[in-house]
Amino acid sequence: MTDSEAHKDDELVFLDEHESGPAIEAPRKSWRVLIVDDDPDVHSTTELALRNTLILNRPLSFLHAYSASQTRELLANEGDIAVILLDVVMENEDAGLRLVKNIREDFGMSETRIILRTGQPGYAPEIDAIRDYDINDYKTKSELTRNKLYTTLTAAIRSFDQIRAITTSRRGLDLIVHASAELMALHGMRNFAAGVITQIAGLLGLRPEGLVCAQDAMDEESPESGPTIIAAAGRHTALINQPLSSIADATLREGLLRCMRERQNIYDEAGTLLFFPSQASARGDMAAFLETDDRLDETDRRLLEVFCANIAVGFDNAALFSRLHAFAYYDQLSRLPNRTHFINQIDRRLANPDHAGFVLGLVDIDHFAETNDALGHLFGDRLLQEVATRLKQSLGSQVTVARVAGDTFGLLGPAERMSPSILIALFQEPFRVDGQDLMVSATCGLLNLADSNTSGAEALKDTNIALKRAKQRSRGEVSFFTRAMGIEIQERVMLLQALRHAFDNERLFLVYQPQVDLATRRVVGLEALIRWRAENGAFIAPDRFIPLAEHSGLIVNIGEWVLRVACHQQAWLARMGFGHVRMAINVSVSQFRHPKFPFVLRRAIEDSGADPACIELEITESMAMEEADFLLLTLNKLKENGITVAVDDFGTGFSSLSYLQRLSVDRLKIDRAFVNEITDSQRGSQIPEMVIQLGHRLGLSIIAEGVEDAAQAQRLQELGCHEAQGYHFARPMEIGPLLEWLQNR
């Protein structure tokens, strides 16, 4: 019989006893003695002789059999027999001896002590039986006087008791070794704790009724939260996840608290309380309660002590694993699942056939970075915690809430619980942080899982597209992911691939748009503008592909190429007699930020032999607004080459006067949008007027772009604008036609 079978048997015995109640409680406490003899007199005299006798403090109870076959029948149904007083000669000469073989081998009763009683001693088969079949005593019937019988039985019962204790503890130790191995394999505190209940129940042959509570080692910030029930079995199951303090059963509650306080095992009438100290963390201790009817006997207690000591290591393992798990899968600030965990949860949901009714959401707090900067990171953290709490509480248990990035929360739940109106309502009330009420808005991207049969990671990506789209439209919006969005992203990816290909295959080229002096109408400069002619001959507008190139970093290489070509053309035009004409070159943000950019510029000028005084860089106003120190440094370094700098798209940003003064720029370029608005009315020319006045005050030159008609040119000139560029004067041209154009003027 294997250990686990033995353990099952124990359980069965236990169940039977439990159900039939205390009626057969008595025989359990007495020593059961089986008298086997074909002479009824022997039965009655033996019983009479031993009546009211206590052996090792317990009474005796008797079972009777009058033949070998009857004994076999009886043994098939009865167990827990301490001693068998066995007659040798019954149905036949050696019926008793053959019965010994049955008892030991067929019934597997190795613990029961057998005392042979025989008429004639020294009979050879009896000697063999004693040798071969573990017979514990051998007495002639005449020898067994009352006293002799008593001492013989006492010796037999004592050895039965010892053997049984040893067997029990050996089996227990086997179980412990087995249990430890099994518990080691269980990761996580909850699994471990549940395992402890089952293993102990198995060890003691009890029904797994019990519970385990633990001080949450993870919860270092709120020690006042107290122990919680982390595992429970049987009728205690409903208590899982409850704080210990909320448990109604006072014996249970106080018992567990006492056990944790005293840090030791307690064996009580009410049950057994085991303490598992954690070495890994001061607060990770665990206590278990098991229902045990009676006080446990010594053997069981010793087994439990061994068990507790033995699994302490496993417990620390589990505690450590739990913490690692928490670190790997939970956000420490909000205690919500993190991105990795959330993706797993989406994967699991997608694998479930009912996922079509579910919605995936991303909630992004608007202007969180600004709040964080303005009110401090601690405040920002608290705000995030408040948002996390509201999301969890308002959306309810059916919606999974996760924190997937700094100020972005992930939601996964049934569609009806996550409608746009529900989500918008979440942010209608202010959040209370540090005693302050703060209105916070959020933007949401949503995805119907029905529209996604890929992976969790992909679904999250699509939801992010919807979020970005919602942000582009306006903050505080909710936007559902649509197929069109997916297609658009795909198109962008394809366009980027095509752009790489075009760049490598020299399908990009530059055109040049003249810039004129408004007073003299002489050409003073050119702006280099990039063009892409696709394989099919169609032009792709730079407004479409430049942002893509920026985004992918390809702009660094493209930008360097533009710089070099434009410098070469400036040098070439100088040789053709247009040495005074400036060459304005657009520089994008990532190009400008690249640490090698000043070096790239210098090399382009040197290699081409261009006149640095005729090279102008156009940076956008939005660029001019960021990172003042960095910008100042870079601009100064660039200007060491003798070049000039213009601020493009001026008027669209919010540059401050003093800031512009610190920046060593030479020219402001009034954005096309404002030039467009210039009419005869005063209102339309307000901004150009302001920009021009500003420029004058700062001693900067002003150029207007996108001048399309004479009226605009006229008005700009009246306002004091120095230079202009636009279709009214000339369209951008390739270098050949440009030279012709210049020569014809």
The C-alpha atoms of residue 132 and residue 387 are separated, in whole angstroms, by 79
Q: Give the x-and-dash track for 471-510 against ligand C2E (CB under 6 A).
A: ----------------------------------------
Query: Would you say 223 or 547 has its CB closer to ligand C2E?
Result: 547
> Going edge to edge, which strands form the sheet with 113-118?
54-55, 58-65, 31-36, 83-87, 113-118, 137-140
Closest CA to 110 of 65, 64, 152, 79: 79
The C-alpha atoms of residue 234 and residue 267 are separated, in whole angstroms, by 20
Residues 6 or more apart whose Cβ sits within 8 Å of residue 53: 59, 60, 150
User: Strand (E) positions, 66-164?
Assistant: 83-87, 113-118, 137-140
The C-alpha atoms of residue 315 and residue 336 are separated, in whole angstroms, by 25
Binding-site member from 215, 322, 338, 586 for Ca ion (CB under 5 A): 586
The C-alpha atoms of residue 29 and residue 605 are separated, in whole angstroms, by 106
Query: Which of these segments, 98-106, 127-135, 144-152, 725-733, binds ligand C2E (CB under 6 A)?
Result: 725-733
Q: Work out how close the CB of 672 gets to ligand C2E at its nearest, in angstroms, rounded to a whole number.
A: 6
| Angle, helix 597-608 to helix 555-575, in steps of 10 degrees | 30
Binding residues among 504-533 for ligand C2E as defined by CB under 6 A: 513, 528-530
Residue 285 interacts with ligand C2E (CB under 6 A): yes or no:
no
Q: Work out how close the CB of 665 gets to Ca ion at its nearest, in angstroms, rounded to a whole number.
A: 14
Binding-site member from 221, 294, 370, 543 for ligand C2E (CB under 6 A): 543
Binding-site member from 172, 202, 284, 726 for ligand C2E (CB under 6 A): 726
Using CA atoms, how far residue 422 sits from 121, 394, 395, 427, 478, in Å, is 96, 9, 8, 9, 11
- Select from Ca ion, ligand C2E, none the partner in contact with residue 546, using the beta carbon and a kind-dependent cut-off of 5 to 8 Å: ligand C2E
- Select from Ca ion, ligand C2E, none the partner in contact with residue 215, using the beta carbon and a kind-dependent cut-off of 5 to 8 Å: none
Q: What are phi and psi of 525, to 5 degrees?
A: -160, 175
| Alpha helix ranges (H) inside 186-297 | 189-204, 250-262
Query: Which of these segments, 202-210, 327-335, 409-417, 583-591, binds Ca ion (CB under 5 A)?
Result: 583-591
Residue 621 interacts with Ca ion (CB under 5 A): yes or no:
no
Query: Would you say 201 or 583 has its CB closer to Ca ion?
Result: 583
Binding residues among 121-160 for ligand C2E as defined by CB under 6 A: none
Query: Would you say 462 or 649 has its CB closer to Ca ion?
Result: 649
Query: Which of these segments, 120-128, 177-185, 423-431, 726-734, binds ligand C2E (CB under 6 A)?
Result: 726-734
- Select from Ca ion, ligand C2E, none the partner in contact with residue 543, using the beta carbon and a kind-dependent cut-off of 5 to 8 Å: ligand C2E
Query: Would you say 456 or 706 has its CB closer to ligand C2E?
Result: 706
CB-CB contact of 616 with 525 (8 Å):
yes
Q: Work out how close the CB of 526 gets to Ca ion at its nearest, in angstroms, rounded to a whole number.
A: 11
CB-CB contact of 529 with 542 (8 Å):
yes
Residue 708 interacts with ligand C2E (CB under 6 A): yes or no:
yes
Listing DSSP states for 268-294 in one string gives -SS-EEEEE--SS-TT--EEEEE--SS
Q: What are phi and psi of 473, to 5 degrees?
A: -70, -60
Residues 6 or more apart whose Cβ sits within 8 Å of residue 224: none
Residue 541 interacts with ligand C2E (CB under 6 A): yes or no:
yes
Query: Would you say 485 or 730 has its CB closer to Ca ion?
Result: 730
Query: Would you say 255 or 726 has its CB closer to ligand C2E?
Result: 726
- Select from Ca ion, ligand C2E, none the partner in contact with residue 727, using the beta carbon and a kind-dependent cut-off of 5 to 8 Å: ligand C2E
Place of tokens 């064996």: 267
Binding residues among 651-670 for ligand C2E as defined by CB under 6 A: none
Binding-site member from 355, 582, 706, 724 for ligand C2E (CB under 6 A): 706
Count the residues of the shown chain that bind ligand C2E, applying the rule CB under 6 A.
23
Q: Work out how close the CB of 615 gets to Ca ion at its nearest, in angstroms, rounded to a whole number.
A: 14
Q: Work out how close the CB of 698 gets to ligand C2E at its nearest, in angstroms, rounded to a whole number.
A: 21
Residue 588 interacts with ligand C2E (CB under 6 A): yes or no:
yes
Q: What are phi and psi of 36, to 5 degrees?
A: -115, 110
- Select from Ca ion, ligand C2E, none the partner in contact with residue 285, using the beta carbon and a kind-dependent cut-off of 5 to 8 Å: none
Query: Which of these segments, 11-19, 308-316, 477-485, 706-714, binds ligand C2E (CB under 6 A)?
Result: 706-714
Residue 586 interacts with ligand C2E (CB under 6 A): yes or no:
yes
Q: Work out how close the CB of 680 gets to Ca ion at its nearest, in angstroms, rounded to a whole number.
A: 24
Which token pair is 611? Answer: 């006149």
Helix, strand, or coil (residue 585): strand
The C-alpha atoms of residue 691 and residue 669 are separated, in whole angstroms, by 9
Query: Would you say 45 or 652 has its CB closer to Ca ion?
Result: 652
The C-alpha atoms of residue 712 and residue 193 are separated, in whole angstroms, by 81
Binding-site member from 25, 727, 734, 745 for ligand C2E (CB under 6 A): 727
> Going edge to edge, which strands form the sheet with 358-365?
400-405, 408-414, 358-365, 442-448, 478-480
| Sign of the dihedral defined by the CA atoms of residues 541, 547, 552, 557, in that order | positive
Q: Work out how close the CB of 544 gets to ligand C2E at its nearest, in angstroms, rounded to a whole number.
A: 9
Residue 618 interacts with Ca ion (CB under 5 A): yes or no:
yes
CB-CB contact of 176 with 154 (8 Å):
no
The C-alpha atoms of residue 128 and residue 119 are separated, in whole angstroms, by 17
Helix, strand, or coil (residue 733): strand
Query: Would you say 370 or 543 has its CB closer to ligand C2E?
Result: 543
Q: Work out how close the CB of 613 gets to ligand C2E at its nearest, in angstroms, rounded to a whole number.
A: 21
According to DSSP, the β-strands at 539-540 and 523-533 are: antiparallel
Binding-site member from 399, 546, 700, 719 for ligand C2E (CB under 6 A): 546
The C-alpha atoms of residue 354 and residue 600 are separated, in whole angstroms, by 58
Query: Which of these segments, 175-183, 408-416, 499-507, 703-711, binds ligand C2E (CB under 6 A)?
Result: 703-711
Binding-site member from 10, 285, 611, 648 for ligand C2E (CB under 6 A): 648
Query: Would you say 50 or 716 has its CB closer to Ca ion?
Result: 716
Using CA atoms, how far residue 331 sits from 71, 328, 384, 408, 443, in Å, is 69, 8, 11, 12, 21
Query: Would you say 320 or 623 has its CB closer to ligand C2E?
Result: 623
Query: Which of these segments, 408-416, 544-552, 644-652, 736-744, binds Ca ion (CB under 5 A)?
Result: 644-652
The C-alpha atoms of residue 17 and residue 604 are separated, in whole angstroms, by 97
Query: Would you say 300 or 618 has its CB closer to Ca ion?
Result: 618
CB-CB contact of 456 with 343 (8 Å):
yes
- Select from ligand C2E, Ca ion, none the partner in contact with residue 542, using the beta carbon and a kind-dependent cut-off of 5 to 8 Å: ligand C2E
Query: Which of these segments, 199-207, 327-335, 498-506, 585-593, binds ligand C2E (CB under 6 A)?
Result: 585-593
Q: Work out how close the CB of 651 gets to Ca ion at its nearest, in angstroms, rounded to a whole number.
A: 10
Element (H, E) at 514: strand 508-517
Query: Would you say 281 or 717 has its CB closer to ligand C2E?
Result: 717
Binding-site member from 33, 384, 562, 700 for ligand C2E (CB under 6 A): 562
| Alpha helix ranges (H) inside 553-703 | 555-575, 589-593, 597-608, 621-625, 628-639, 657-662, 672-677, 686-698
CB-CB contact of 741 with 526 (8 Å):
no
Contact residues toward ligand C2E (CB under 6 A) are 513, 528-530, 541-543, 546, 559, 562, 586-588, 648-649, 672, 705-708, 726-727, 732
Contact residues toward Ca ion (CB under 5 A) are 586, 618, 648-649
